[in-house]
Structure 1
Amino acid sequence: MFLLCLGNSLATKEELAANGGYVLFPSNPTFESYNVVLSGGVVTRAAVVSVVITLVGTALSLLCTVALAYGLSRPGTVAGKPLLMIVLGTFLFTPGIIPNYPPPQLHRCGRGRRSDGGRRLRADRGWLHKLPNGTFTARP
């Protein structure tokens, strides 16, 4: 699949049209499609913004982490114990409720019809039970 994408990106428009839109090994490879995408400015600007945000965010995160670690390593730091408890609390309590929360199951509802003749869908409002392996199951 990767080779097909690469071959299509290196092929000319005429070669793609002649082969039905799929070229694995182009006869005359060209970087015309890359020039079109990168010369528009949108992709280049998005890449620059992503790199700048990553660099600034990493630098700020590193600065805050180093400052907090240095402050907590010194005895007699103002509010040292509460800060330490906050930091240790993040290790104990994971933020896993949002990524593990299942979407509501949709069931057919027999009460009422839509104008197009189809049945309405309703969200399951049953209880959610967490299984031992970390997954959830819905119970009506």
Structure 2
Amino acid sequence: MTAAADSTRDAIRAAADRLLEGTPLRSTGELTVVQLAAEADVKRWLLTHKHRDLAEQFQARARALAGDSPPVAELKKRISELEDANARLKAADAERQELTDFYTQVINELSTALDRATAERDDLLGNVRSISQAPSRRPAH
């Protein structure tokens, strides 16, 4: 092999290591041959035709990681945790909303009952006259 080919192979190996470690410099960090080419700063056809062995080694190592680099796996785990927390918050919010609706209904009913009782009291008190003095002590007109 020529020095240029060795240099290209070294760049591909280094790029593969960076991708698998989750420290990409030039790519999105996805564990694909396309991103490996971008990370190594080489044309994709070099990986698929000229250095196929390196592409296959990379794919095998990526499969061993279940397809995700460590940072991507960590982010997926964090996303899952956040989705679970969000679901719990939504459930708690729905429960609070149900309680709020229930309390609103109870307050409404109590308010209506109070208005009725107040009106009845006012009607009953409307027939009552104030007595300023007892009958035996009233001055004669």
TM-score > 0.5 by shorter chain? no
Structure ID, larger Rg:
2
Higher RCO (CA-CA < 8 Å; seq separation 6+): 2
Larger helix proportion, structure 1 or 2? 2
- TM-score with structure 1 length normalisation? 0.31
